[in-house]
């Protein structure tokens, strides 16, 4: 028996069943590098229409995490699929290199040494640190089989890039969109720097909660009585407003108390003093402070308090009654302590009432010497002292601990404060920046579409952009201060000079080259005419750095152009990079630097919760690559709906691995059946092919069209589902199963076998192309194992062409009907198997009684029915109007020793004893190899 096996055309291939991705991936990637595949691809696509995905630069700090992997893999899908579709799609990766996190890391690494270093030396240490992480991250990105210009990425710390940043700033300056102002900003007293919104994180915090009495000035009591007749009754008694705050240290900076104009307030008798709070809260507050308020003596709208005067509870100065509509009843007393130098709302109120933006603190949060009682104390440590001072004056009515969410510094995780400081701003409403940005948003394609709403709301409501930071590692704002009068000067001539110096020496020059090199000829102070200046020490917000990438990269990089066709980042970048890039683009060129913006969600764990170290549910890309391979990660990215959060966990990965194996095995069978097939000579013309093979081609052509359309829509889950369906159902369970007998036992060079090989060849070749963007290593491996002349790598090839001629809806429809009969047969076979009448399908013969139309269909495919059902014999009966009925019997006759079918008779001729007629013929066929 065993010898008959040797006469069969059993599949053979070097394309292994086991992928061993952990070793084959690095090998393949090394081979690509050796052959300069990326360079070859650029050359091959020269002159084609371009598709430019502009990379958003990851921050050059730390190892890559799963979010980076998701992002870069999606970008790679876009780049590779556009390239496969025939576009010239270069990819220039970049890194964001400046900024606080690196500065803090380097600071920590240097320790006390830092004190002896110059700023320029410190910056060089930061540069070295960033360089190190660029290398580390680049290594991992390359390991993910991502194509790109890895040897010359763009870095925001490159000299030319730094120059481009100040030039972009110069454009804003030239258009008078930059101003210096005083504003409270989030300030970290530990890092001694202003923080962008993005640099602030909200964390639980326990603050003191205090109720503080602000006595009303004597003359205002009469004024109140004049406005509210009922108040006349107590105008000779002490009257106070009771405020509530969780930051007692801001009391020394209090300049006002705010009331909501439309809320009802009430005056209560609180043991001698008349106290004013929101009426709705009166009873609860009375209980809380331990002084039952009783019935209101008078009630009135908050607006009557406008411009009445209170006295500061600690100092001999006034605190103005003001109205503001952000006052709520959710917490406190309905009367809001207002310190314009220490709060965003407070600031706006202060501006409206012409109050001083008062924040008497130094950079590390110590009260200045001018502050009575608390000079030199640090804000949070001052809290108890403030409470004590209030208590000793009888102004502290109640205090307790209060747990709430409070802003913390994203790096050092210390609580931050609001502090009024001098900062540089880009004005949102000068030169129509905001309006033009909103228009540019409408001209951009947002994927998914809701991205438009999201960024629109942000741009419409955002305050002026604070672009200055008081740190060292970044691009200096080349502003100078007049030494005579202190006026800050920033002109386009200054930025241009800086750009020239930065190009030659890097931006470190600001800290070590003579100031004269930066001063344009004839610079004079616009305020006093002075000609002596000193440098400011502000650097630019890093969002301005990365937001300028289109200015620094697109006009200069090979094959690039402005604007880019696509930006692709996580949905957090609506407030980050998309946002800053849009503002810079509109500022410099009046247009968005992108035509399309695609966003993806975040990676969460299998339960849908965010990944965090504390929850212990973090999955690292390095782990997955080590355990399974980058192809697994890539396949995972393709199957999930990236538009929302994507889940990743053990089971998800296990399922991905299963899918990968299945796909690999099916592909392997196809190649393995082609070991003796040369497309140049053995290809069968469509008209000569068996119907099953044409059906396979029609099915594949339809799938291919669906898949390429999905790539065009960046709809990778459809690519996955369609290819998975094709592979598991159409190919594995149907086509390969049905053709198995033919491929193995028919004459090697028979038309029937060559017909099947033709279909398998075209499908394998097409599948390699179609799946190459998702599984670049596996498909390249497949490619190299396919017969025929072909490009050195599948990645130099394009999506399959010419499949349209195989499309055949009528054929597909016929086979849907045949498939339905096949399902019925399978059902009947299974029943007989359970009854132990038959074992394998070949031990069965089937009689199908089919109604007229179906009978005709079956009769037309009579010859193929045994293969289609996988049984030894099929008899069909016209059932007329009757229903479809399938009868299964044990096959009669003898089992052919070669093809295992049961046949009426086997040969007894010498050399072919025990074989069926078909096998005898197959063996007689001359074989030439």
* Contacts to RNA from residues 853-882, by CB under 7 A: 870
Q: Which residues is 94 bridged to in the sheet?
A: 154
Please tell me the distance from the alpha carbon of residue 114 to that of residue 119, in angstroms, as a whole number: 9
SS3 413: coil
Cis peptide before 26 (omega within 30 of 0): no
In the complex with RNA, the residue whose CB is nearer, 344 or 373, is: 344
The CA distances from residue 710 to 644, 706, 717, in Å, are 18, 6, 8
CB contact burial 68-98 (16+ within 10 A = b; e otherwise): bbbbbbbbbbbbbbbbbbebbbbbbbbbbbb
Q: Binding residue for RNA (CB under 7 A) from 303, 535, 595, 740? A: 740
CA angle (486 as vertex; 480, 489 as ends), nearest 5: 35
CB of 367 to RNA, least distance (A): 24
Please tell me the distance from the alpha carbon of residue 117 to that of residue 473, in angstroms, as a whole number: 14
Tokens found for residue 140: 């991992």
Q: Binding residue for RNA (CB under 7 A) from 505, 511, 602, 675? A: 602
363-368, long-range: CB within 8 Å, 24+ apart, which pairs? 363/187, 363/189, 363/192, 363/470, 364/189, 364/190, 364/192, 365/187, 365/189, 365/417, 365/419, 367/252
Q: Answer yes or no: are the C-beta atoms of 358 and 420 closer than 8 Å.
A: yes
CB of 394 to RNA, least distance (A): 32
In the complex with RNA, the residue whose CB is nearer, 797 or 846, is: 846
CB of 928 to RNA, least distance (A): 22
SS3 868: helix
Q: Answer yes or no: are the C-beta atoms of 140 and 79 closer than 8 Å.
A: no
CB of 578 to RNA, least distance (A): 11
Binding mask 85-124 for RNA (x = CB under 7 A): ----------------------------------------
| 152-191 residues near RNA, rule: CB under 7 A | none
CA angle (232 as vertex; 231, 238 as ends), nearest 5: 75
CB under 8 Å to 575, separation ≥6 — which residues? 197, 198, 455, 458
Map tokens 């965010």 to a residue. Answer: 610
Q: Binding residue for RNA (CB under 7 A) from 517, 682, 741, 889? A: 741
Question: Is 839 near RNA (CB under 7 A)?
Answer: yes
Question: Is 606 near RNA (CB under 7 A)?
Answer: yes
CB under 8 Å to 134, separation ≥6 — which residues? 60, 95, 97, 153, 155
Question: Is 609 near RNA (CB under 7 A)?
Answer: yes
Q: Binding residue for RNA (CB under 7 A) from 737, 878, 889, 917? A: 737
Binding mask 376-415 for RNA (x = CB under 7 A): -----------------------------x----------
In the complex with RNA, the residue whose CB is nearer, 124 or 918, is: 918
Question: Is 829 near RNA (CB under 7 A)?
Answer: yes
Written in H, E and C, the secondary structure of 329-385 is CCCCCCEEEECCCCCHHHHHHHHHHCCCCCCCECCCCEECCCCCCCCCCEHHHHHHH
Question: Is 823 near RNA (CB under 7 A)?
Answer: yes
In the complex with RNA, the residue whose CB is nearer, 820 or 859, is: 820
Q: How many residues bind RNA (CB under 7 A)?
A: 82
CB of 635 to RNA, least distance (A): 10
Binding range to RNA, per CB under 7 A, among 285-293, 507-515, 836-844, 847-855: 836-844
In the complex with RNA, the residue whose CB is nearer, 198 or 222, is: 198
| 878-917 residues near RNA, rule: CB under 7 A | 897-900
Question: Is 571 near RNA (CB under 7 A)?
Answer: yes
SS3 139: helix
Q: Answer yes or no: are the C-beta atoms of 134 and 60 closer than 8 Å.
A: yes
In the complex with RNA, the residue whose CB is nearer, 94 or 343, is: 343
Binding range to RNA, per CB under 7 A, among 9-17, 231-239, 523-531, 560-568: 9-17
| 446-475 residues near RNA, rule: CB under 7 A | 450, 453-454, 457-458
Tokens found for residue 373: 């009682």
Binding range to RNA, per CB under 7 A, among 301-309, 369-377, 530-538, 599-607: 599-607
CB of 728 to RNA, least distance (A): 4
| 625-684 residues near RNA, rule: CB under 7 A | 639-641, 644-647, 651-652, 655, 658-659, 661-662, 665-666, 668-669, 672
Question: Is 604 near RNA (CB under 7 A)?
Answer: yes
CB of 840 to RNA, least distance (A): 3
């Amino acid at each position: 028996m065993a010898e008959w096996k040797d006469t069969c055309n059993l599949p053979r291939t070097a394309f292994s069943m086991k992928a061993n991705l952990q070793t084959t991936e690095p090998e393949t990637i090394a081979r690509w590098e050796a052959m300069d595949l990326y360079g070859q691809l650029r050359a091959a696509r020269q002159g084609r229409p371009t598709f430019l995905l502009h990379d958003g630069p990851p921050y050059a700090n730390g190892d890559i995490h799963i979010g980076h992997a998701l992002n870069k893999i999606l970008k790679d899908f876009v780049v590779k699929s556009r390239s496969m579709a025939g576009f010239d799609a270069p990819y220039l990766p970049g890194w964001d290199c400046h900024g606080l996190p690196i500065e803090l890391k380097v600071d920590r690494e240097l320790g006390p040494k830092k004190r002896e270093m110059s700023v320029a030396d410190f910056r060089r240490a930061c540069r070295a640190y960033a360089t190190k992480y660029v290398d580390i991250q680049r290594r991992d990105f390359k390991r993910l089989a991502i194509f790109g210009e890895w040897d010359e990425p763009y870095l925001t710390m490159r000299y030319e890039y730094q120059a481009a940043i100040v030039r972009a700033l110069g454009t804003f300056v030239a258009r008078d969109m930059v101003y210096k102002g005083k504003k409270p900003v989030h300030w970290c007293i530990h890092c001694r720097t202003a923080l962008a919104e993005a640099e602030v994180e909200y964390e639980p915090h326990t603050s003191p909660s205090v109720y503080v009495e602000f006595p009303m000035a004597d003359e205002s009591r009469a004024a109140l009585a004049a406005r509210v007749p009922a108040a006349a009754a107590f105008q000779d008694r002490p009257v106070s407003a009771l405020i509530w705050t969780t930051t007692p240290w801001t009391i020394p900076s209090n300049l006002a108390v705010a009331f909501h104009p439309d809320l009802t307030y009430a005056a209560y008798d609180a043991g001698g003093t008349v106290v004013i709070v929101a009426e709705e809260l009166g009873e609860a507050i009375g209980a809380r402070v331990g002084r039952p308020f009783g019935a209101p003596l008078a009630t009135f709208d908050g607006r009557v308090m406008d411009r009445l005067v209170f006295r500061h509870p600690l100092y001999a100065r006034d605190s103005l009654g003001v109205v503001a509509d952000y006052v709520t009843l959710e917490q406190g007393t309905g009367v809001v302590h207002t310190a314009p130098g220490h709060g965003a709302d407070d600031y706006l109120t202060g501006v409206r009432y012409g109050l001083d933006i008062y924040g008497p603190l130094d950079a590390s949060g110590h009260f200045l010497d001018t502050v009575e009682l608390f000079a030199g104390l640090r804000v949070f440590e001052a809290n108890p002292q403030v409470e004590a001072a209030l208590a000793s004056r009888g102004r502290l009515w109640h205090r307790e601990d209060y747990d709430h969410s409070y802003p913390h510094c994203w790096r050092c995780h210390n609580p931050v404060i609001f502090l009024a400081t001098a900062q540089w701003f880009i004005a949102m409403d000068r030169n129509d920046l905001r309006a033009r940005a909103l228009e540019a948003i409408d001209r951009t394609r947002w994927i998914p579409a809701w991205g438009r709403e999201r960024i629109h709301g942000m741009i419409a409501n955002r305050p002026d952009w604070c672009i200055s930071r008081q740190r060292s590692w970044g691009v200096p704002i080349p502003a100078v201060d007049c030494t005579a009068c202190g006026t800050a000067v920033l002109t386009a001539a200054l930025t241009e000079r800086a750009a020239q110096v930065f190009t030659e020496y890097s931006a470190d020059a600001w800290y070590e080259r003579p100031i004269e090199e930066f001063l344009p000829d004839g610079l004079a102070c616009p305020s006093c005419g002075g000609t002596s200046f000193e440098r400011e020490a502000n650097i630019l917000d890093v969002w301005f750095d990365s937001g300028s990438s289109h200015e620094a990269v697109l006009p200069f990089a090979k094959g690039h152009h402005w604007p880019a066709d696509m930006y692709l980042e996580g949905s957090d970048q609506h407030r980050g990079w998309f946002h800053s890039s849009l503002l810079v683009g509109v500022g410099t060129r009046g247009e968005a630097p992108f035509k399309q913006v695609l966003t993806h969600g975040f990676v969460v764990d299998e339960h849908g919760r965010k990944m965090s170290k504390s929850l212990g549910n973090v999955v690292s890309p390095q782990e997955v690559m080590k355990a399974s391979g980058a192809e697994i990660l890539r396949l995972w990215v393709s199957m999930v709906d990236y538009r929302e959060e994507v889940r990743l966990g053990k089971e998800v990965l296990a399922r991905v691995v299963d899918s990968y194996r299945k796909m690999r095995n099916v592909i392997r069978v196809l190649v393995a059946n082609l070991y003796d097939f040369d497309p140049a000579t053995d290809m069968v013309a469509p008209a000569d092919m068996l119907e099953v093979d044409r059906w396979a081609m029609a099915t594949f052509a339809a799938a291919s069209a669906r898949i390429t359309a999905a790539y065009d829509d960046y709809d990778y889950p459809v690519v996955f589902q369609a290819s998975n369906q094709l592979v598991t159902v159409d190919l594995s369970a149907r086509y390969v199963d049905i053709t198995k007998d033919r491929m193995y036992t028919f004459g090697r060079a028979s038309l029937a076998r060559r017909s099947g090989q033709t279909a398998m060849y075209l499908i394998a070749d097409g599948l390699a192309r179609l799946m190459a963007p998702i599984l670049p290593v596996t498909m390249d491996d497949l490619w190299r194992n396919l017969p025929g002349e072909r490009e050195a790598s599948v990645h130099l090839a394009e999506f399959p062409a010419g499949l349209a001629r195989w499309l055949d809806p009528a054929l597909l429809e016929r086979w849907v009907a045949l498939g339905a009969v096949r399902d019925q047969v399978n059902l009947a076979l299974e029943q007989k198997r359970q009854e132990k009448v038959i074992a394998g399908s070949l031990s069965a013969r089937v009689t199908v009684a089919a109604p007229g139309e179906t009978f005709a269909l079956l009769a037309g495919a009579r010859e193929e029915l045994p293969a289609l059902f996988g049984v030894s014999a099929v008899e069909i009966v016209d059932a007329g109007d009757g229903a479809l009925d399938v009868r299964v019997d044990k096959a009669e006759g003898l089992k052919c020793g070669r093809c295992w079918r049961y046949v009426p008779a086997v040969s007894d001729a010498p050399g072919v004893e025990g074989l069926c007629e078909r096998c005898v013929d197959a063996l007689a066929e001359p074989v030439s190899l």
